[in-house]
Structure 1
Amino acid sequence: MKIFYKQLPILIVLLTFTSCDSFVETDLPKSQLASSSVFENYETANAALINVYAKLRDTGLLTGTGTGLSNILGNYTDELTAYGGATSTNMAFYNNALLPGSTVISNLWNASYNQIYAANAVIEGLDNSSGITTENKKQLLGEALFLRAVVHFYLTNLFGDVPYVTTTDYQKNNTAGKVGSAEIYKSIISDLQTASALLPETYSSASRGRANKFVCRALLSRIYLYNKSYPEAANEASALINSTALFALESDLNNVFLINSKETIWQFESTSAGQNTKEGPIFIFTAGPPASVAASTILTSSFAALDQRKSKWLKAVSKAGEIWYHPYKYKEQTNTSVSKEYSVVLRMAEQYLIRSEARAMQGDLIGAKEDLNKIRLRSGLPGTQALSKEDLLSAVLEERRWELFTEYGHRFFDLKRLDMLDAKLQPVKAGWNTEDRLFPIPQTELGNNPKLLPQNPGY
């Protein structure tokens, strides 16, 4: 991979320093450029780790900008409708017309592996450190392992078989071969289990912007669900649901995405006070027609009349008798005097839906209904009328659609894991092909490293 260089010192990608736990990037002092120096001091080691969080927030797959998953996978599926010129980034995803030479695809790949490299640099630096207390080392190491795992999780779900990178060794990384998705999942689970054992249940700050044991378990519950390990998925979700001192569903949908929401498990803290999410400016528009993107008619028309998610999480804009809707989970389009919203990556509603599906798959239909109805009743809907296992699973999928839209690609990943992409998208997406279940591997990467061959089917 071209992102790793022969003469690159272990911390050269971490040339940042922060004086507190907010995710702000500034230059490290020259005296801290050597990795041994960085990891002999808690403050600079902590700053190196905070920088990795900032990388995830600002670039790559989890950023809230227009090239992040919430927007591009919303366009790629049936959640969003793209507007603008034929050559816009949104149009390429909306038309399911991705190319191996796409700059956006290359940037997503490179940003992801740079984030993984940065996490590995922290892991290696901590392993070799003797100047940090055991407890502090456990905390930082657990967080770095989580960050490595979460980026690999999204990479394999988008690109399929990819390298699972666990070192900063440029020679190994430049020639790393593909690893099968099943093996990648084993490595992700191992990293998350190790991280969970290292981390405390408490958050290191009130912002819930850094990983703790429950953040690891929340991602584990999703991975077990994807892997059809239903008892494990239910157990991990239950650990969070039962931790009522920390977590709870917000009764008012307008409070779900506020900074101090008890529903939040993990979110990205903004760079500075008064700054809100990156999603707000991407999704919100105040006059029609939309310049970039709007909620699709397929999505907006699917909500029941009583569903408060349509009235509170979507907002109508009209002009000359035409009506568009934009995602309105985040209400702030610009900065405010104090920050009101951070980008929420993991939240409790998903855990209830994970446990509902996992229970249904194990035949516990009563428990599955109870979990599903927690989400439905909160949204103003009556309890589900599903009676059979099949009907209940269909109801859970629809509930996930309404609850999790434009949140980091849930719709795409759900349809993919359930082998329903073709059935759901071919009737409504003229450009959809079966091969679109995977993104293309960037052409430049195939040229640089033949071990990444063959290209994904269809490209």
Structure 2
Amino acid sequence: MTYNKIQSIYIPISKRKILFVKSYILALVIIGLNSCTDFVEVDPPKNILVSETVFEDPATVESALANVYYTMRQQGIVGYDLSADMGIYADEMDYYGSNSNDLSVYIHSITPINSNVSNYWNNAYTLIYAVNDIINGVEDSSALSVEEKATFKGQALFVRAFLHFTLVNIFGDIPLITTPDYRMNNTTGRTPVNEVNEAIIEDLILAVSLMDASDPTGERVIPNKAAANALLARVYLYTENWELAESTSTILIDQFELETNLSNVFLKESVETIWQFKPDPTNIRNTSEANQFIIQTSSGNHYALTNVLMNSFEEEDLRREQWVGNFTSADGSTSLYFPYKYKALLSEVESLEYSIVFRLAEQYLIRAESRAQLGNISGAQNDLNNIRNRAGLDDTAARTQSTLLAAIFQERFVELFSEQGHRWFDLKRTGMAGANLESIKPNWKTTDTIWPIPESELELNPNLLPQNPGY
């Protein structure tokens, strides 16, 4: 069983004059009640309510949010597609498939009409409009309790921040959408990256203050304060706010613990998981990552780990043994390595693994980098060594700020490969994309650090012009 990229039901910004976002929220509720309530184990209301009363019952709001998480997992902007596309765009995975859109990503010949480009854009803004309406509806509700309003609004703010953060790191300047008012958004332009980042941080700080400290399911599948802090630490790192990146990651390091056994890190019960997506128990019992990345036959292979990544593992690194698989064809002519972090295929009867979005190892590496940038060499070494020692490696030999930063960057490569596009975003944010890719990507251009705005959006809304340089 394979999963293709799902076409979104996005309504372009300049066409929203003919549709109120309320109707989409009702659709979210209906879909959530029929198909994905089990995703977060929310008991649905006994009947479908009209749109005016969606926000008068906490169960319907929970269902709408449940479907937001379901859609985030199923449609590229957060799930498997992001890991795959950003992996082949960078230097961690090779692509062997025949899909023309994926191939253009791999060889750096993306155009504004590439469906991968429009899918990321459309899927993200569909959900941003949805959570904006949830925020407004919850605030205006006369039936929800103060605690329910805080919980729901916090989750919606977190999702809005997450989606804007992913979009701004893929596309650069983007529309910052903070209202469901179609009249305001019909002709919206693009907001500079630094202002988008400021808004993301503002959303996350407020989300942390509103969200619950725990996930009522006990499975870390509903985002809470920890998930918002995990994203906030990442945003602070990307925006080079080293002090706040250090202090925010410390909150999580004090709260969670690393798995001591590498083979347990990607199981659904892993103690280091901060937030994860639960598969739909009706149809999808395990992760799409395993189903797409594990090479079972020569003809079925689309992705394999690059020689660049494989050569980055130190000889004694247990991650290569535990998290990398090998496929050799029957005639011995083909031998390929693949991501083997998730090992349970979709055909497994029991859900063994959930798709992890945030885990503690990243927070150690965020704090290590922040401490190194702040001149705290011993603190950075200690954080880095926590990750290295778990992988069976000796303490780092790096002793200066520059060598330590290089060591941390390298550690992020071998620890976070094939997860959520970390490698590409690291290359981009550190200004090292060209140095690492120009020799292996024949079509590499300096303007490749951001993707083009979808051509269809520019045609519908000229205020999004000009197109990104290079496209």
Structure 1 55/313 Cα, relative in aligned 2: closer, same or farther at 3 Å? same
- CA displacement at 1:290 relative to structure 2: 5.6
1:6 corresponds to 2:23: no
Q: Is the deviation greater in 293-302 or in 70-79?
A: 293-302
Specify the SS of the correspondent of 1:396.
helix
In structure 2, distance between residues paired with 1:190 and 1:355: 21
How far residue 253 of structure 1 moved from its aligned partner, in angstroms, is 1.0
2:53 corresponding residue in structure 1: 37
Establish whether residue 317 from structure 1 lines up as the match of residue 317 from structure 2: no
Q: 1:253 aligns with which of 246, 262, 270?
A: 262
The answer for the alignment partner of 1:282 in structure 2 is: 292
Deviation at 1:206, TM superposition (A): 1.4
Query: What's the offset of the Cα at 1:212?
Result: 0.8
Query: Which amino acid is the alignment partner of residue 262 of structure 2?
Result: L
How far the C-alpha of 1:7 sits from its partner, in A, is 4.0
1:54 maps onto 2:53 in alignment: no
How far the C-alpha of 1:29 sits from its partner, in A, is 8.3
Q: CA deviation at 1:364?
A: 0.5
Secondary structure of 2:39's counterpart equals coil
* AA aligned opposite 1:199: M
Q: Secondary structure at the match of 1:6?
A: helix
What's the CA shift string for 1:127-171, capped at 9, x where partnerless? 110101111111111000000000000000000000110111112
Unpaired runs of at least 5, structure 2: 1-10
Matched ranges for 1:60-79 at <5 A: 60-64=76-80, 68-79=81-92
Aligned match of 2:451: 439
Q: Counterpart of 1:312 in structure 2: which amino acid?
A: Q
SS at match of 2:94: strand
Task: Compare the two structures and name the one with the higher helix fraction.
Answer: 2
Contact 1:79–1:295 (CA under 8 A) maintained in structure 2: yes
Aligned residue identity for 1:414? D
Q: Name 2:177's counterpart in structure 1.
A: 165
Partner of 1:304: 314
CA distance in 1, matches of 2:19, 2:460: 18
Residue of structure 2 equivalent to 1:22: 39
| Cα pair 2:17 2:186 within 8 Å, conserved | no
| Pair 1:294–1:26, CA change in 2 (3 A) | farther
**Partner residue of 2:190?**
178
Q: Which amino acid in the other structure matches residue 8 of structure 1?
A: L
CA distance in 1, matches of 2:72, 2:60: 19
Residue-pair matches, total: 451
Q: Using a 3 Å threshold, how does the CA distance of structure 1 residues 126 and 322 change in structure 2: closer, same or farther?
A: same
Aligned counterparts, 1:413-424, within 5 A: 413-424=425-436
The runs of 5 or more residues in structure 1 that have no matched partner are none
Deviation for aligned residue 1:348: 0.3
1:80 is aligned to 2:93: yes
Contact 2:319 2:391 in 1 (8 A): yes
Corresponding letter in the other structure for 2:215? Y
Contact 1:23 1:50 in 2 (8 A): yes
Calculate percent identity across the aligned residue pairs.
41
Structure 1 letter corresponding to 2:50? L
Structure 1 residue 28: Cα displacement: 9.2
In structure 2, distance between residues paired with 1:142 and 1:80? 36
Counterparts of 1:29 and 1:38 in 2: how far apart (Å)? 13
Structure 1 residue 383 and structure 2 residue 392: aligned? no
Name the SS for the 1:32 alignment partner: coil
C-alpha deviations, 1:186-244, integer Å up to 9, x for none?
1000000000000122122112111111111111111111111101000000000011x
Please say if residues 353 and 396 of structure 1, whose CA atoms lie closer than 8 Å, have aligned partners that are also in contact.
Answer: yes
What TM-score, normalized by structure 2, do the two folds share? 0.92
Aligned to 1:202, the other structure's residue is in SS state: coil
CA positional deviation for 1:282: 1.1
Pick from 129, 136, 153: which aligns with 1:141? 153
RMSD: 1.9
Q: Secondary structure at the match of 2:325?
A: strand
TM-score normalised by structure 1 residue count:
0.94
Instruction: Measure, in 1, the Cα distance between the counterparts of 2:404 and 2:395.
Output: 12
Q: Which amino acid aligns with 1:237?
A: S
